[in-house]
């Protein structure tokens, strides 16, 4: 049997390298039932009937993950008892019912031992049998427990030879060899066989060894695929290079994954573990704001791929209830993963209410899957953030006062893409009430370092539509206009293999949300590359469209670095099947 403390102590090597040096920090609107919780609660309002309309055939996008991670409150003191206690607390607190589903075991679960064939060996005391018939030292025991409560299980490794607790240990000595380098296929297959549903892959080893993150994470994604194929078990992919290597430029859909997240910054706070020396630490609101800012890369966040500003510190020492509310608002308007880092067995009633507010969660999980954009900051620190929602005419808005005095902050309908000539209803999500109907603007006084999270529902300003089969566009590789019975324009362009399509549109002078109207007749998502004005391409995922031939829509955000006399949106699916394009619609707004 492996003895945890003995093994950990054996890992004390001369390599006292500081971890900190590596980690510094539309057009055709259809009536469709909506799953948007905020909208549902609004339906009671007679003035908001339009909430039942969904934006132009929007295909629901895989939402960002919600759950809990062991790192922030347990560091490497994690074991079976901790995980069982936290799993039960996630259920009894009401968080499971609110949508939190992952229990993620972070670093410290494994002490770096392998058998002669390279199979991971885990400490039998740390991970004992939990019921008759189970073997001690088998991670599938704890996975079975997590699954038995209707939840999903996550695990951690590093892309390099060792995880972060070797290079910069927190509690206890450095632990050698807790990375998967040289064992990708073997380890990811093992994780899937144990039954894990989620894997976080850290970069401390990769960083130390100067590996190329884009290449390395693609290789890991392929290993994840192979493990999924062998076991039939899905592993959600979480990348953790802290934004050091601009993951937003290469991580969306890396290695062909259908959903993933990537960290955009360092940790908000180092772990705070009760009854240990590090219990004197506290989370800071400044750190929360800094991670929020570093997490904003809206052009990369779409179709199931998400920027990850880190586990939330809501409910940890250092933040007031008001700051916790702002923190949750920032993650929700970002559409960020909602992974809680606090000790779930100690949450206050106020914290639970913040974490489980259904309308706020609905903004985060909205099935357009896009990130908010800062639409206004007319004076430094008076910020208006906004993102369109899947419900027609619905927009989430955050009025954020980053100054040290109360401030009046105004949002104009034209800034967020609403028709200024029509009135709109304003909902305060934390107050849980409608504030009334307003014409063209809404102004609120926001306390110092505070924010209001709103859903404003009005009439979307007219979008600008460009048909795929327009002669203004550039077709290559044999792409050609074809008849399309279900297309409003009657024509479409299919890409894939050699065939590509470049939309030529009016210059993109600001960040713009774009709906893409397409058909995917297959039963699986199709991946396409999009390059805007010749910039580095990003992978866009096109889920199957309903009924085979019906036109569906996805929404993305596009930006140009150097708008010229026109802008280009070039779509290609080199060597593989691509979607059928009907048109694109540029949504209005001062984004």
181 within 8 A of 205, measured Cβ to Cβ = yes
Task: Work out how close the CB of 157 gets to ligand GLA at its nearest, in angstroms, rounded to a whole number.
Answer: 10
Structure tokens at 136: 């001690």
Residue 345 burial by CB count (10 A; 0-12/13-18/19+): exposed, middle or buried? middle
Number of residues that bind ligand GLA (CB under 6 A): 11
Nearer to ligand GLA by Cβ, of 237 and 242: the residue is 242
Annotated catalytic, 267? yes
Distance CA 348, CA 100 (A): 17
Do residues 141 and 134 touch, judged by C-beta distance below 8 A? yes
Contact 50, 393 (CB under 8 A): yes
For ligand GLA, which stretch binds (CB under 6 A), given 124-132, 160-168, 205-213, 292-300?
A: 160-168
366 binds ligand GLA (CB under 6 A): no
d(CA 243, CA 70): 21
Two structure tokens written together for 130: 């939990």
Tokens of 375: 């639409």
- Minimum distance of ligand GLA from residue 240's CB (angstroms): 5
For ligand GLA, the closer of residues 166 and 503 by Cβ is: 166
Counting contacts by CB under 6 A, is residue 11 touching ligand GLA?
no
| 309 near ligand GLA, rule: CB under 6 A | no
Residue of minimal Cβ distance to ligand GLA? 164
Nearer to ligand GLA, 127 or 242 (CB): 242
Q: Is 106 in the site for ligand GLA (CB under 6 A)?
A: yes
CB of 78 to ligand GLA, least distance (A): 10
CB 303 to ligand GLA: min, Å: 25
Q: Residue 203 or 542: which CB sits closer to ligand GLA?
A: 203
Residue 311 or residue 469: which is nearer to ligand GLA going by CB? 311
Exposed / middle / buried, residue 456 (Cβ in 10 Å: 0-12, 13-18, 19+): buried
Give the nearer residue to ligand GLA in terms of CB position, either 78 or 516: 78
- Minimum Å gap between C-beta 576 and ligand GLA is 34
Q: Quick one: which segment of 42-50, 163-171, 369-377, 435-443 binds ligand GLA (CB under 6 A)?
A: 163-171
The C-alpha atoms of residue 488 and residue 554 are separated, in whole angstroms, by 17
Q: Are strands 236-240 and 260-263 parallel, antiparallel or unpaired?
A: parallel
Q: Are 348 and 87 in contact (CB under 8 A)?
A: no
- Considering only 93, 126, 165, 356, the residue that binds ligand GLA (CB under 6 A) is 165
- Interface region with ligand GLA, contact rule CB under 6 A, candidates 157-165, 359-367, 433-441, 471-479: 157-165
Taking each helix axis as running N to C, give the angle between helix 140-148 and helix 184-194, from 0 to 180 degrees, rounded to the nearest 10.
Answer: 40
When the beta carbons of 201 and 328 are compared against ligand GLA, the nearer one is 201
Catalytic residue among 170, 267, 359, 376: 267
What are the beta bridge partners of residue 465?
A: 585
Smaller CB separation from ligand GLA, 169 or 578: 169
Q: Give the range of 137-145, 159-167, 317-325, 528-536 binding ligand GLA by CB under 6 A.
A: 159-167
Distance CA 559, CA 264 (A): 19
Smallest distance, ligand GLA to C-beta of residue 278, A: 13
Is 402 within 8 Å of 409 (Cβ atoms)? no
Identify the bridge partners of residue 162 per DSSP, sorted by sequence position.
none
Minimal distance, residue 243 CB to ligand GLA, in Å: 10
Catalytic residue among 170, 202, 241, 460: 202
Sheet strand arrangement including 394-401:
373-376, 382-388, 394-401, 450-457, 423-428, 433-439
* Contact status: 328 vs ligand GLA (CB under 6 A): no
**The one among 111, 142, 151, 164 contacting ligand GLA by CB under 6 A:** 164
**Distance between CA atoms of 112 and 123, rounded to whole angstroms?**
10
Window contacting ligand GLA (CB under 6 A); options: 137-145, 161-169, 394-402, 444-452: 161-169
Judged by CB under 6 A, the chain residues 221 through 280 that form the site for ligand GLA are 240, 242, 267
| Shorter beta-carbon distance to ligand GLA: residue 216 or 573 | 216
375's CB contacts (< 8 A; 6+ apart) are: 384, 385, 386, 411, 415, 416, 589, 590, 591
Taking CB under 6 A as the binding criterion, the range among 162-170, 350-358, 405-413, 528-536 that sits at the site for ligand GLA is 162-170
Alpha-carbon distance 576 to 221, whole Å? 18
Which residues ranging from 36 to 95 are in contact with ligand GLA (CB under 6 A)? 71
Q: What is the DSSP letter of 177?
A: T
Inter-CA distances, 548 with 395, 461, 524, Å = 30, 30, 11
Residue located via tokens 């829509």: 553
> Is residue 202 annotated as a catalytic residue, yes or no?
yes
199 binds ligand GLA (CB under 6 A): no
Question: Minimum Å distance from CB 422 to ligand GLA?
Answer: 45
- The reply on whether position 202 binds ligand GLA by CB under 6 A is yes
CB of 235 to ligand GLA, least distance (A): 17
The nearest distance, CB 382 to ligand GLA, in angstroms, is 32
Encoded tokens for 250: 């290469």
Q: Which residue's CB is nearer to ligand GLA, number 155 or number 569?
A: 155
Alpha carbon distance 317, 313 (integer Å): 8
Per-residue HEC secondary structure of 271-324 comes to: CCCCCCHHHHCCCCHHHHHHHHHHCCCCCCCECCEEEECCCECCCCCCCCHHHH
Q: Which residues are catalytic?
A: 202, 267
Q: Which residues bind ligand GLA (CB under 6 A)?
A: 23, 71, 106-107, 163-165, 202, 240, 242, 267
């Amino acid at each position: 049997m492996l003895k945890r403390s003995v093994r950990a102590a054996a890992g004390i090597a001369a390599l006292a390298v500081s971890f900190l040096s590596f980690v510094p920090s539309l057009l055709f609107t259809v009536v469709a039932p909506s799953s948007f919780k905020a909208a549902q609660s609004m339906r009671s309002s007679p003035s908001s009937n339009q909430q039942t309309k969904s934006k132009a055939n929007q295909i629901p996008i895989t939402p960002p993950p919600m759950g809990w991670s062991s790192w922030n409150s347990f560091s490497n003191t994690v074991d079976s008892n901790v995980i069982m206690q936290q799993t039960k607390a996630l259920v009894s607190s009401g968080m499971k019912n609110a949508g939190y589903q992952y229990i993620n075991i972070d670093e410290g679960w494994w002490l770096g031992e392998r058998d002669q064939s390279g199979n991971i060996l885990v400490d039998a005391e740390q991970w004992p049998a939990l019921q008759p018939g189970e073997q001690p030292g088998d991670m599938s025991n704890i996975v079975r427990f997590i699954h038995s409560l209707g939840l999903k299980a996550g695990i951690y490794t590093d892309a390099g030879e060792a995880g972060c607790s070797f290079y910069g240990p927190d509690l206890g000595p450095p632990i050698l060899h807790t990375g998967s380098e040289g064992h990708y296929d073997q380890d990811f297959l093992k994780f899937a066989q144990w039954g894990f549903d989620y894997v976080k892959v850290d970069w401390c080893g990769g960083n130390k060894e100067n590996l190329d993150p884009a290449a390395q994470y693609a290789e890991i994604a392929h290993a994840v695929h192979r493990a999924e194929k062998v076991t039939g078990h899905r592993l959600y992919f979480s990348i953790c290079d802290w934004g050091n290597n601009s993951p937003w430029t290469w991580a969306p859909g890396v290695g062909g994954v259908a959903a993933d997240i990537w960290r955009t910054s360092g940790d908000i706070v180092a772990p705070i573990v009760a009854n240990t020396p590090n219990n004197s630490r506290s989370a800071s609101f400044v750190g929360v704001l800094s991670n929020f800012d570093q997490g904003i890369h809206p052009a990369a966040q779409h179709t199931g791929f998400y920027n990850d500003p880190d586990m939330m510190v809501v409910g940890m020492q250092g933040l007031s209830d008001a700051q916790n509310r702002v923190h949750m608002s920032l993650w929700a308007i970002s559409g960020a993963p909602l992974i809680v880092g606090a000790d779930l067995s100690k949450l206050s009633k106020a914290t639970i209410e913040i974490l489980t507010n259904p309308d706020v969660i609905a903004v985060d999980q909205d099935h357009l899957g896009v990130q908010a954009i800062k639409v206004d900051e007319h004076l430094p620190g008076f910020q208006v953030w906004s993102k369109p929602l899947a419900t027609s005419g619905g927009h989430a808005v955050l009025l954020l006062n980053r100054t040290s005095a109360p401030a009046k902050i105004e949002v104009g309908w034209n800034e967020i893409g609403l028709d200024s000539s029509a009135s709109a209803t304003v909902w305060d999500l934390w107050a849980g009430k409608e504030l009334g109907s307003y014409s063209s603007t809404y102004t609120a006084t926001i306390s110092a370092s505070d924010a209001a999270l709103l859903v404003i529902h009005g009439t979307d300003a007219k979008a600008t539509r460009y048909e795929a089969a327009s002669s203004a566009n550039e077709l290559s590789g044999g792409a050609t206009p074809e008849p399309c019975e279900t297309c409003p324009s009657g024509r479409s362009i299919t890409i894939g293999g050699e065939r590509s399509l470049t939309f030529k549109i009016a210059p993109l002078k600001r960040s713009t949300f774009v709906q893409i109207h397409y058909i995917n007749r297959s039963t699986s998502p199709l991946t396409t590359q999009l390059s805007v004005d010749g910039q580095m391409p990003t992978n866009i995922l096109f889920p199957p469209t309903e009924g085979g031939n019906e036109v569906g829509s996805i929404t993305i955000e596009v930006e140009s670095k150097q708008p010229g006399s026109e802008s280009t949106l070039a779509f290609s699916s080199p060597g593989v099947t691509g979607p059928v394009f009907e048109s694109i619609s540029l949504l209005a707004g001062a984004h």
